[in-house]
């Protein structure tokens, strides 16, 4: 199934995901088109803790509810210049909680 935004012409490319019982959240994917942009969405189900994102990334939003979970959205700071590039979306902290992280490559309109 190819996801597409009819207003912008953007579509979804590669996807990836990872999870762990502890450690810094992170996952990688290989881009399929020049000019694509990689985004990541995560959940920390142990605690409500702010994220510290890796290099060349932007924290778009995070929700720190009183229930003790964290939900966040982050992305590369800018699009990837070439296809076949391995892009890592990661956080440097926290490192002690259980987490899930899903990545998606948003393809530029052809």
Residue 23 lies in a domain: yes
Q: Is the dihedral of CA 71, 53, 18, 97 positive or negative?
A: negative
Sequence-distant (6+) residues with CB within 8 A of 44 are 25, 69, 70, 71, 72, 94, 97, 98, 99
What is the pLDDT, as a whole number, of residue 104?
97
User: What digits encode the pLDDT tens for the residues 15-39?
Assistant: 999 999 999 999 999 999 999 999 9
Residue 29 lies in a domain: yes
Number of domains present in the structure of the chain: 1
Query: What are the Cα distances from residue 75, in Å, to 5, 54, 67, 68, 78?
Result: 18, 10, 25, 24, 8
Q: What's the domain range around 99?
A: 11-107
Name the pLDDT band for 7 (thresholds 50, 70, 90): low
Residue 15 lies in a domain: yes
Residue 65 lies in a domain: yes
What is the rounded distance in angstroms from the CA atom of residue 30 to the CA atom of residue 15?
9
Residue 56 lies in a domain: yes
User: What digits encode the pLDDT tens for the residues 38-85?
Assistant: 999 999 999 999 999 999 999 999 999 998 899 999 999 999 999 999
Q: What CATH number is attached to the domain comprising 79?
A: 2.60.120
Tell which residue, 35, 52, 33, 44, has the closest CA to residue 68: 44
Backbone angles phi, psi at 76, to 5 degrees: -65, 150
Asked if residue 1 lies in contact with residue 47, where contact means CB atoms within 8 angstroms, the answer is no
pTM: 0.89
Residue 26 lies in a domain: yes
């Amino acid at each position: 199934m190819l996801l597409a935004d009819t207003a912008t012409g953007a579509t979804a490319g590669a996807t990836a995901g990872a999870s762990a019982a502890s450690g810094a959240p992170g996952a990688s994917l290989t881009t399929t088109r020049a000019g694509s942009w990689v985004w990541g969405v995560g959940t920390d189900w142990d605690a409500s803790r702010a994220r510290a994102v890796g290099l060349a990334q932007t924290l778009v939003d995070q929700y720190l509810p009183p229930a003790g979970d964290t939900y966040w959205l982050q992305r590369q700071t800018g699009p990837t210049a070439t296809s076949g590039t391995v892009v890592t979306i990661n956080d440097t902290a926290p490192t002690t909680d259980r987490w899930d992280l899903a990545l998606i490559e948003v393809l530029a309109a052809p």
